[in-house]
Chains A and B, each alone.
Chain A
Amino acid sequence: MHMADALINPAVGGTMWIVSTGLIAWCAHKLKQTMNDRLVPMMGVLGAFIFAAMMINFSIPVTGSSGHLGGGLILTILLGPYAAFIVIASVLTVQAFFFADGGLLALGCNIFNLGFFPAFIAYPLVYRVIARDEHGTLRAWIAAIVAAVVGLQLGAFGVVLETKASGISELPFGTFVLLMQPIHLAIGIVEGLATAAVVTFVARARPEALFSARLDMQPRNSMQPVLIGLLIATVIVGGAASWFASTHPDGLEWSIAKVSGQEEVTGTEDNLHKGLGQLQEKTAFLPDYGFKSTATETAPAEKTAAEPEQWPAISAGTSVSGIVGGLITLGLAGLIGFALKARRAGV
């Protein structure tokens, strides 16, 4: 459920950037107070582990869709909220830069949706309350599943709200929510099971590696048992996930595809209504614009930005000049690129 830049407006993206960078700074401050040197490689390794886990898609039975592990809850249980939030932020940053998975402007949204909810809501308010520091018991399993579901539900709802607030996509709010939430309920249950399996194993192999036990932990010489525990956990996760792995689109894409398919009927009805209003508007101002007088149409930037619903005036003249100009500009940009390259090669 990574959001892309192309669907976010700067106001929403900027706000979430401020929120997320503030959270990172706060977590960094908290970590500095308790930072032990060993946490550095542990955070790095777990980041890589989650990175790999995120890239394996598992399909949700019956629905034919698939999703990937967020990993936020596992990280929080292993590292505590502060370190986990920073690891999730770093994973999402690398994904945005190297895989174009989620954009730079949307990075704040993604860090908040996938990091804040599991680390600061699902773990302290749900997982710890239910699990009560038990590991491997039925209570801990239930805690993991409920916490994962809560974290993903909130994250999915965040996606819906941020997409809606940006107003670039035409998704109807109610339908989007109704399709996003059940899908992420299923993903949450699977993720909760995977999380519980990992935590149970770590708890059995090296209980002091878990955050709640770490506070009074003495530094040990070797991380080997924990690493092996994580390895076996990864095999379980990897095995289970790859068994489910499929080429289906992931939850977000699937639910949107579903929306677009279902909404066609209601959409046209809605458009008929809007279209009539538009027709009125069109007939009202069309005579004013023609092939010649197109200069006035380029409304001031701020005004058009403030009213995204406003239609650009419909005129064949503007469209043609827009297309011709667009193509010429594109060609110019390309030519400049070639020229710069040729100059570089010549030097």
Chain B
Amino acid sequence: MGLGQWIEIGRLDELGRLDTPVHRLDARAKVITTLVFIVVVMSFPRYEVSALMPFFLYPIALIALGRIPAGCILRKILLAAPFALVIGMFNPLLDHQTAAKVGVWNISGGWLSFASIMLRFVLTVSAALTLIACTGIHRLGAGLERMCAPRVFVVQLLFLYRYLFVVADEGTRMMRSLELRSAGPRSLRLRVYGSLVGHLLLRSMDRADRVYRAMVARGFSGEIRVLRQTSLRWTDWAFTGGWTAFFVAARIWNLADGIGRLFTKGAS
């Protein structure tokens, strides 16, 4: 695990605590909208490319309205991209049939489906990341519980998340002290790494146990309380309804193609 990854989780957590119109929306509305989004995006036939374009509006609008730095999301998408790249890459290798023509170039079906896979990858990943960035894990957990997710699972999710930060804090401190003692960052030898990670786990487990005791002392009874409005307002309904209508419209009609035809017709 890289230290950078922990810092990135911290950034997402910070973003999740912002207070913007998007953050104020009920978590349930955003979860359902995101799920609808992903299902609709993945329901396209495999060679579809242009019809996917209008769907970029959703993550982009959330990023803009939620004041989420786009660079942060983009970097995470790029970090996760090699996986989809490797799996998608053999489509052009196995599928050579010509599926489209642009001027004099023939585009094979493999490249088309590869482009489609990469577009869907960017869309689905950015939707999931913006969901967490403009909701935060605590509101998400509370929302999931209200959506009838088992409490044991929600509590476990929140506890796991909390302990991840305990580990991250300890790790940051250890890395800093290591750097101070070894005159700047350097690659760890195996033995150093082993004892470092071992101590990290010991410290974080002790810490986690203390955190739990402290929570019990303060009245934790297996329920996570969130100080937020919890009833669905008309904005939540409008958000989910509006976006769902847009997704369905973009699924039925190829909006990008329509716009493109309008423009190419105008030019010729």
Task: Please determine whether chains A and B interact with each other in the same assembly.
Answer: yes
Contact B44 A103 (CB under 8 A): no
Given A305-B45, A330-B53: A43 and B156 interface contact (C-beta under 8 Å) = yes
Question: Which residues from 23 to 66 on chain A have a C-beta closer than 8 Å to any C-beta of chain B?
Answer: 24-25, 27-29, 31-32, 35, 37, 40-41, 43-45, 47-49, 51-52, 55-56
Q: Which residues of B contact A310 (CB under 8 A)?
A: 45
Contact across chains for A6 and B98 when beta carbons are under 8 A apart: no
- With beta carbons under 8 angstroms apart, the residue of A48, A231, A307, A325 that contacts B256 is A325
Residues B163 and A48 in contact, CB atoms below 8 Å apart: yes
Which of these binds chain B: A122-130, A148-156, A271-279?
A271-279
Q: A237 CB to closest chain B CB, in angstroms?
A: 9
Of B49, B128, B206, which is within 8 A of A103 by CB? B128
Contact present for B53 and A344 (CB under 8 Å):
no
Does B183 sit within 8 A of A, measured CB to CB? Answer: no
Contact A344 B64 (CB under 8 A): yes
> Is A86 positioned at the interface, with any CB of B under 8 Å from its CB?
yes
Interface size class of B (residues with CB under 8 A): 35 or more
Question: Roughly how many angstroms separate A147 CA and B197 CA in the complex, as a whole number?
Answer: 27
Chain B residues with CB under 8 Å of A305's CB are 43-45
Which residues of A165-214 are within 8 A (CB) of B? Answer: 167-172
CB under 8 Å from chain A, chain B span 245-266: 251-264
Tell me which residues across on chain A come within 8 A of B71, comparing CB atoms: none
Q: Which residues in A have some Cβ–Cβ distance to B below 8 Å?
A: 2, 4-10, 13-14, 21, 24-25, 27-29, 31-32, 35, 37, 40-41, 43-45, 47-49, 51-52, 55-56, 86-87, 89-91, 93-94, 96-101, 103-105, 167-172, 223, 227-228, 230-232, 234-235, 238-239, 242-243, 249, 252-253, 256-257, 259-260, 263-264, 267-268, 270-271, 274-275, 278, 294, 298, 301, 304-305, 307-308, 310-312, 314-330, 332-334, 336-341, 344
User: Shortest 6 CB-CB distances between A and B: which pairs?
Assistant: A325-B260, A260-B90, A28-B150, A44-B159, A235-B198, A100-B80
B residues within 8 Å of A by Cβ?
A: 1, 5, 8-9, 12, 20, 34-35, 38-39, 42-47, 49-50, 52-54, 56-57, 60-61, 63-65, 67, 76-77, 79-80, 82-84, 86-91, 93-103, 107, 109-110, 113, 117-118, 120-121, 124-125, 127-129, 131-132, 137, 149-153, 155-157, 159-164, 166-167, 190-191, 193-195, 197-198, 201-202, 204-206, 208-209, 212, 216, 222, 251-264
Q: Can you list 23 A-B contacts with CB-CB less than 8 angstroms, sorted by A residue number?
A: A9-B43, A10-B42, A41-B208, A44-B160, A48-B167, A56-B1, A101-B83, A103-B128, A170-B90, A170-B110, A235-B194, A259-B90, A271-B95, A312-B47, A316-B101, A318-B100, A322-B257, A323-B50, A325-B255, A326-B256, A334-B56, A336-B57, A344-B20
